[in-house]
Chain A
Amino acid sequence: MNLSDNFPIEFYDALVIGAGGAGMRCALKLTEQGHKVAMVSKVFPTRSHTVAAQGGINAALGNVTPDQWQWHMYDTIKGSDYLGDQDAIEFMCQEAAEIVRELEHFGVPFSRLESGKIYQRAFGGQSQNYGEEQAHRTCAAADRTGHAILHSLYQQNIRLGTTIYDEYYALDLLKTINGEIGGVLVMNIHDGAYKILQSSHTLLATGGAGQVFRNNTNASINTGDGLGMVLRAGLPLQDMEFWQFHPTGVAGKGMLISEAVRGEGGKLRNALGEAFMEKYAPHVKDLASRDVVSRAIAIEVKEGRGCGANKDYVLLDISHIPEEVITERLPGIRDISQTFLGIDPIKEPIPVFPTCHYMMGGIPTNIQGQVVSPDDLGEQKVVKGLYAIGECACVSVHGANRLGGNSLLDIIVFGRKAALTISEALHSHKPNRSNTDLNLQSIRQRLQRWQKRSETSAETSAQIDSVIQIKKSLQQIMDRGCGVFRDHQTMQQAFNDLQGIQLRLDNVCLTDFNDVFNLERLAGLELENLVAIAFATVTSALARTESRGAHSRVDFAERDDQAWLKHTLYFQEAHRLVYKAVNLHPKHHVAFEPKPRVY
């Protein structure tokens, strides 16, 4: 396709970019409200990474132990190491019960209790009565909750006939002359053709970016495309230093072994056979919040009590759990262990080590799902026409560390909320379906750059570097520089190395010139996003001279509320950082003052 041509344009009331749990919940509501919606996804919807979520979704239903949304709110705030915005957390926890029942009506095959109600399991960091006994709050469909939710949402979207552009890749946000977001440019992966989808309401639900790390539980599609788009549009990313390392990834490989395993009674043991979490979290032991458990494992291994020939992992032991519980509640975990390790967890413990799992940071939004950005005076202003939800967004309900089971909740709560926000706006202002001028200059430049490279490399054919190699280097740099434990020196080194990566990315040549399923070009476009996100992470992390939640610094081991009880905002231009206050003003509950965090 000739890039100087005019791109074909289609008009929609609203665009949803991404068809994971968040995107599909949002599109479902918008379609139900009668709006003309297009959902764009670079993969077929049920391939989205929500499908891999295992353990469950939190809601204070109280089906197993007494529960209240206020206790859930407290646990989430404590889990976030007090960096979460309390108004947003309050809203999410209040909505949770309704959200789960709604999912159940959509067809999610939740596991059941004898009473016929939804089964709820214990998960890390959850308590009754503000920090007392363990709560059972995580609603589960065996250990395939994400799969069950994603498929049910896709099925409901079939019911309503939502328009889905699957295997279309969203390249960049397009701005109107007034600087509002007016749509996106997408590429059909099937034939490489570009198209403008124009709408005065564009919602990003593009998910996480775990691919910046080598050891991760994420799918290869998790390249943070929405985040890259936002950065290139001159907007900030929030709290990008906070990455959750899941304590129990399959050692050396990264596949997720759900927290549900410990929820059902699994124990972590070191080489001496000690259930070592008793040392680190005497009260709740293996069900401490994830950052705590990950650090404990890393310390055990660092101090030489790791297992295996290289002493580089610990063991997750469930051999004491009755076999029927494992086959009924944890069939997927057993399957993964058998497939990837040749181990039957009923008989043998599973080797595990922390692995990158979730991005707490993302595109800053308010509770309504609208993207916000500070103006020149530092005041937070809504970015017109742009919304973000799910892992790519930072509301922030997870703060410095997310609780297990809160991610599925986040995507559904804010998926529905953002849809209502957009729907309201559409009802008060008739959508504009006429052609408004959109600024295409920068996107044309970006596309031309990749096109031109293809031609250059065809001429010289001397290939020295490749997109794949650069991605590998990037992941290594991030693993070394921004892992479970961080310090100034390694992060500074990572920052310097990233500049080398940027240089290589600017000069890399493609070898594939075809338009049909050109996955090399796609990987190149994705890599641009990953590199941008890596810079955001390292820059934000270097500046935060404290340890909070998942951001754990050897050189600044303590939390410093005086200086750092605030959100980081990162702008791509000159790697600029600004800060914004944490919301400590919930609407219905008294605020929770920061306290030392012990489990």
Chain B
Amino acid sequence: MSNPIRLTQLASYVPPGRVDTRARGLTFGYGDDFLEGKLGTTSLSLKEPDEQASDLCVKAARALEAQGSTLADIGALIVCTQTPDGHGIPHTSAIVHAKLGLPDTCACFDISLGCSGYVYGLSVVTAFMQANSISRGLFFTSDPYSAIIDPADQATSLLFGDAATVSLLEANAPGWEIEDVLFGTQGAGGSAINNQQGPLAMSGRDVFNFAMLTVPKQIKNLLARQNVTLEEIDLVILHQGSRYIVDKLRERLKLPPEKVPVHLSGIGNTVSSAIPLTLEAALKNSSATRILMSGFGVGLSYATALLKHVP
């Protein structure tokens, strides 16, 4: 590939606020064992009431700068969100662009996807940069779901936390390169996660069945297409819907726990940010050179990518 685009750095912002879900769980008949053991957390990260998606993105960008990266020469800024600032106009990426003071020459657009958004987005951003000879780009994920959660709703109020991440993508630099991606959609089942009445509503059973029946197949199809086995993959980063869903997918894939990190404690399911947050944490203690990531959820949409590290 000429001028390959690679993921070179990851940063995140997890707000310091927390929702303690233990009391809330008891109102639904769930004790700490269920919350920690099945959902993966007894608290959820929570933004300030006046913070919006763009504010979390800016804080993630500042975290990226704190790691030593500059925002110079950024030619593309893409935000994946389904909880944009205000009512969605203007697009959140343009608001982030303004807050970061980036130049007029920077392309900005939003991607509307939920839990599969990071995998889709990486592919979109990489292809966009490649096609338009853009050498540096920022890909944000930001879904502050606390704004659309009904605290009395059993299916959602114990699960979702707020966070944002930013991925720096650069041409011809050492980093993670996409080898292959598979995408999927079951639009007919899309009502399983919706906010048509205002607050988020979810049929946990439908999402669970969808994930169990589609994700392992898609992973196996992608590996077969690349002639790679799961044994050759160092890390499998799954969307962190809940500990239970990660564990059950791992069991179906017959993978050991150390290969499939769970990153939910104190945070919760952060939608499009769940995969990059888990990846960021996993790579701190890993010498992985080949990873597989799979996102699934809102849509019902799913996507699986194989990435290799190019030194």
Whether chains A and B associate is no
Chain A residues near B (Cβ < 8 Å)? none
Chain B residues near A (Cβ < 8 Å)? none
